[in-house]
Structure 1
Amino acid sequence: MLRTSHILCKVDDVRAAVRDFTELGFTMEFGSDPARAHNALLWFAEGPFIEFFQLPSAFRLLRWPLSTVHGLGAGERLARWARPGEGWRDLALETDELDLTGTRTALRAANLAVSRVMKGRRTRPDGETVRYQFLAPRPARLPFVVSAYDPPQRPSRITHPNGAEGVARVRFGVAEADRPTFRTLIGGDGRLAAEPAPRTGVLGVELAGLAADLDPDKLHGTVFTAAARKG
């Protein structure tokens, strides 16, 4: 069953995003050497995490070469990621498997158009190499799929000074035309709340434990709200 892995936010300057979210009371981690990193991660003790990434608009020109090599779903998604502006850009779903071959076969059997399985890797700030796989369904506004990370990446212990404990819910808008394919991708993930919307995509993220409202001037186009406290 596919479940929410992480929510992606595009930013113009990942170092500025790390600075601002640290000032907002989050503990941040660069994806690679901070001097050269193009992404940063906001982890929680369990559940989905948040990835901030920067990508030049010129990368849209790689849409067709990438489509030729990996399939239209891959090229369309790169162009979507590279479009100008900051804010929520995508949602990743994950499996417990290191190899997505079986997942791709199952999705294709369900008549969902998907790219070829692509392999990725990055070198963490501590020098460790992380490997993973991903595939891109069509249309590109649907969530994409990632494998388990090798080795696992979640920190053994992490706390946030602002009290944030984790992603309680991801509000995801689904346009009428995308509902059948969206249902094919989604299992029983209680953290992912689909709702009707004119366009398909992430609408907002609710955080459990958040002690106070966040300064919108430091959010880089994201939408965060505090989840209702239980009891």
Structure 2
Amino acid sequence: MKVSHIIYKVMNLDEAVEEFREKGFEVEYGSKKNPYNAIIYFSEGPYLELLASSGMPQIMKRVLRTFGKGRFVDRLNYWDNHEEGPCGVALENYKKDLEEEISILKKYKQSYFQMGSRRNDTKGRKLRFTCLFPDELQIPFFMTYFNIDPKPKNFIHPNGVKRIKSISFGTKESSYQSFKNCVMILC
């Protein structure tokens, strides 16, 4: 299990993409039509997701709440309403499922929501993956790696940046034990 990506909340996606490009990063929108995110890939390590919104319509959020997935909606709302800057971390595995992660969450009595996800990127790739969102918002979410590797090979951004060197993730003291038990075992 490794860090997949960092979610970086932005208020205006087009302005953020332009700002990061001006800083010498190659940035690609998450999709051609109506993008709500953009991606800064690195050849190695995690990537940066610029997120304007979760992309989840309000009506769907209400449906999810109705079916007992309110904590998942709370996570989406947290991202949607966060101030600009880092607001989330995803961990990934290189398997086709998240069964090991589910068993550890169950062991520590952590509820979760799992869903298949897909994205057709601007290069025509049909990216598929599975996400697992612990109900505890202080625990990062998990995902399988993409079915197709979208990261460029041996790439250095025009500004010379090769990778994200380190990440710090904070959590509330009251949530530390759950975080430590559920996440650190997997890493």
TM-score, with length taken from structure 1: 0.72
**Number of corresponding residues:** 186
Q: Tell me the residue number matched to 2:179.
A: 182
1:145 to 139, 142, 145: 142
Work out the percentage of aligned pairs sharing the same amino acid. Answer: 28
Task: Specify whether residues 47 and 70 from structure 1 end up closer, same or farther in structure 2 by C-alpha distance, changes over 3 A only.
Answer: farther
Q: Tell me the residue number matched to 2:3.
A: 4
Task: Specify whether residues 107 and 40 from structure 1 end up closer, same or farther in structure 2 by C-alpha distance, changes over 3 A only.
Answer: same
Structure 1 runs of 4+ off > 6 angstroms? none
2:94 to 93, 96, 105: 96
CA apart distance, 1:64:
4.3
Which SS does the other structure have where 1:160 is aligned?
A: coil
Q: Tell me the residue number matched to 1:109.
A: 107
Task: Specify whether residues 57 and 82 from structure 1 end up closer, same or farther in structure 2 by C-alpha distance, changes over 3 A only.
Answer: farther
Task: Specify whether residues 156 and 69 from structure 1 end up closer, same or farther in structure 2 by C-alpha distance, changes over 3 A only.
Answer: farther
Q: Tell me the residue number matched to 1:52.
A: 50
Q: Tell me the residue number matched to 1:167.
A: 164
Take 1:130 and 1:161, find their aligned partners in 2: how far apart are those partners? 26
1:29 maps to a residue whose letter is E
Take 1:32 and 1:124, find their aligned partners in 2: how far apart are those partners? 5
2:147 maps to a residue whose letter is D
Residues 127 and 147, structure 2, Cα contact 8 Å, conserved in 1: yes
2:7 maps to a residue whose letter is L
Q: Structure 2: 5+ residue runs without aligned partners?
A: none
Q: Structure 1: 5+ residue runs without aligned partners?
A: 190-231
1:36 to 34, 37, 47: 34
Deviation digits for residues 104-152 of structure 1, max 9, x if unmatched? 133212322222x101101111222111110111222321111111112
Q: Which has the higher contact order (CA 8 A, sep 6+)?
A: 2
Is the counterpart of residue 136 in structure 1 residue 133 in structure 2?
A: yes
Which SS does the other structure have where 1:171 is aligned?
A: coil
Deviation digits for residues 34-53 of structure 1, max 9, x if unmatched? x5222111111211111001
CA apart distance, 1:15:
1.6
Residues 130 and 150, structure 1, Cα contact 8 Å, conserved in 2: yes
Q: Tell me the residue number matched to 2:19.
A: 20
Residues 7 and 49, structure 2, Cα contact 8 Å, conserved in 1: yes
Q: How does 1:66-105 map onto structure 2 within 5 Å?
A: 66-69=64-67, 71-83=69-81, 85-105=83-103
Take 1:46 and 1:57, find their aligned partners in 2: how far apart are those partners? 27
Q: How does 1:197-216 map onto structure 2 within 5 Å?
A: none
Task: Specify whether residues 60 and 77 from structure 1 end up closer, same or farther in structure 2 by C-alpha distance, changes over 3 A only.
Answer: farther
Bigger drift between 150-159 and 168-177 goes to: 150-159
Take 1:58 and 1:122, find their aligned partners in 2: how far apart are those partners? 14
1:74 maps to a residue whose letter is F
Take 1:119 and 1:56, find their aligned partners in 2: how far apart are those partners? 15
Deviation digits for residues 30-88 of structure 1, max 9, x if unmatched? 2211x522211111121111100111899567544224447343122111111153211
Task: Specify whether residues 46 and 138 from structure 1 end up closer, same or farther in structure 2 by C-alpha distance, changes over 3 A only.
Answer: same
Q: Tell me the residue number matched to 1:199.
A: none
